[in-house]
Amino acid sequence: MPAASVAAPPADPAPPGTSPAPVAPVAPVAAGPVVARTRDELRMARRQLTDGDVAVVMTMGALHEGHATLIETARQRAAHVVVTIFLNPLQFGPREDLSRYPRTFDSDMEICRRAGVDLVFAPTPDVIYQDGDPGVRVSAGPLGNVLEGQARPGHFDGMLTVVAKLLHLTRADTAYYGQKDAQQLLLIRRMVGDLDFPVRVVSVPTVREADGLAMSSRNMYLTDSDRETALCLSRALRAGAAAAAEGPSAIRRAARSVLVREPLALIDYLVLVHPSTLEDVPEWYRGEALLAVAGRVGTTRLIDNLPISVGPSGGPLEVFSDVDSAGA
Ligand code: AMP
């Protein structure tokens, strides 16, 4: 629902024989989204979203243009949009950046207001985990142990557990996620399919800065020189994609040659994998693959990826073709 408008009060009837006095138009009031902090507030606000389908965009706050694009895409397709803002302690390791993660609630709300969000659910951890740490959690399985899962043990179990809870609490019909977090997106699709969640998952292409850097809340940690260094990640992906016609080892080689020229980026992995198994694609492979990179720049761990079509007329893709996506 777009911003609420206030109906003009009924005008006094004009005396007979005179024309009615002009009534000043009442400007629509750009009402912001309803904010729910508790389960009861969410339940009450969600109950109002009756006429049409409900989309959810889940975030950890510190919203940027990438989040805004998810929200706007959802806004164009669904009758109502719910945004969740929740820093989920369950998906952060003990040495990760939970305590310093940027918290920018006021500007987050402004982005939500401008994008016509109906409802923002911004709970604290005790609202989500009302009985303390959950004993029962969603297991990401083997796909949760590779790539990001290898670097961040338990991350994907914690992420899926909160996604499951937020899907139940918001009762969304559709959920929008960014291709930026490719492994997360894959695991959410798997959970929804494997466990029969009644929700449609839609992916949205990665939104980038003009120079190619993938937008991320964590970019706020980067110094100017870190930011310059960080560009090697997206450059490597583009270089890999430019070699798509020559096959997997050419793609890996082209991407790696960019990364080795930037010793200040401490690369954790650079892989070309099958989009649904996350296994390295063999040299004979032709078709869609995920070129993914992760590394540390300064004190900040960054990830990026590019869907690629491998083969004679290959190159970069916005999103994979066989999934429900909001790509071009
Ligand atoms: P986060 O707040 O980082 O958990 O992200 C919330 C959602 O926004 C996730 O679905 C992310 O994949 C998505 N997202 C984050 N950055 C981008 C980006 N640069 N482009 C598209 N989606 C993004």
Measured CA distances, 247 to 45, 176, 254, 320, 327 (Å): 52, 32, 11, 18, 24
Residue 31 has a pLDDT of 79
The proportion of the chain whose per-residue pLDDT surpasses 70, expressed as a percent, equals 91
Closest ligand 1 atom to residue 63 Cα is 2
The mean pLDDT value for 131-136 works out to 96
For residue 327, name the pLDDT band (cuts at 50, 70, 90). Answer: confident
Residue 43 tokens read as 């339940």
Dmax (CA) of the chain: 88
* Beta-strand relationship, 80-85 and 54-59: parallel
Which amino acid type is present at position 82? Answer: V
> Tens digit of pLDDT for each residue in 227-267?
999 999 999 999 999 999 999 999 999 999 999 999 999 99
Nearest to 306 by CA among 236, 247, 245: 236
DSSP string, 248-278: HHHHHHHHHHHHTT-TTEEEEEEEEE-TTT-
Phi, psi of 48 (to 5 degrees): -75, -20
Check: CB of residue 58 under 8 Å from CB of residue 163.
yes
> Tens digit of pLDDT for each residue in 90-122?
999 999 989 999 999 999 999 999 999 999 999
Could you state, in order of their start, the residue ranges of all structural domains in the chain?
A: 34-204, 217-315
> Tens digit of pLDDT for each residue in 18-55?
444 455 555 444 679 999 999 999 999 999 999 999 99
- 6 pLDDT more than 90: no
Which amino acid type is present at position 175? Answer: A
Residue 322 has a pLDDT of 81
Check: CB of residue 307 under 8 Å from CB of residue 275.
yes
Give residue 220 CA to ligand 1 midpoint distance, Å.
Answer: 14
Residue 62 has a pLDDT of 97
The mean pLDDT value for 283-302 works out to 98
Closest ligand 1 atom to residue 176 Cα is 10
Which amino acid type is present at position 192? Answer: V
- Please give all residues whose beta carbon lies within 6 A of any atom in ligand 1, as ranges: 59-60, 66-67, 69-70, 177-178, 180-181, 204, 206-207, 214-217
Mutate which of 56, 67, 163, 305 for ligand 1? The one with the most ligand atoms within 8 Å of its CB, which is 67
Contacts of 29 (CB under 8 A, 6+ apart): 3, 4, 5, 6
Rounded to whole angstroms, the Cα distance separating 141 from 183 reads: 12
Question: Distance from CA of residue 147 to its chain's centroid?
Answer: 18
Known catalytic residues are: 67
Which residue has its alpha carbon closest to ligand 1 atom 18? Answer: 66
Residue 325 has a pLDDT of 86
When the pLDDT of each residue in the chain is averaged and rounded to a whole number, the result is 92
Task: Give first-to-last CA distance, the chain, whole Å.
Answer: 25
Check: CB of residue 102 under 8 Å from CB of residue 219.
no
Residue 229 has a pLDDT of 98
- 86 pLDDT more than 60: yes
Give the DSSP letter of residue 101. Answer: S
- 187 pLDDT more than 90: yes
For residue 5, name the pLDDT band (cuts at 50, 70, 90). Answer: very low
Cα-based angle 177, 289, 309 (whole degrees, multiple of 5):
105
Residue 326 has a pLDDT of 87
Residue 25 has a pLDDT of 53
Which amino acid type is present at position 102? Answer: P
Closest ligand 1 atom to residue 180 Cα is 12
Residue 23 has a pLDDT of 53
Which residue has its alpha carbon closest to ligand 1 atom 12? Answer: 178
Residue 328 has a pLDDT of 59
Is this model's pTM higher than 0.85 or not?
yes
* Beta-strand relationship, 287-297 and 300-310: antiparallel
Tell me the CATH architecture of domain 217-315: 2-Layer Sandwich (3.30)
CATH number, domain 34-204, options 3.40.50.10490, 3.40.50.720, 3.40.50.620, 3.50.50.60? 3.40.50.620
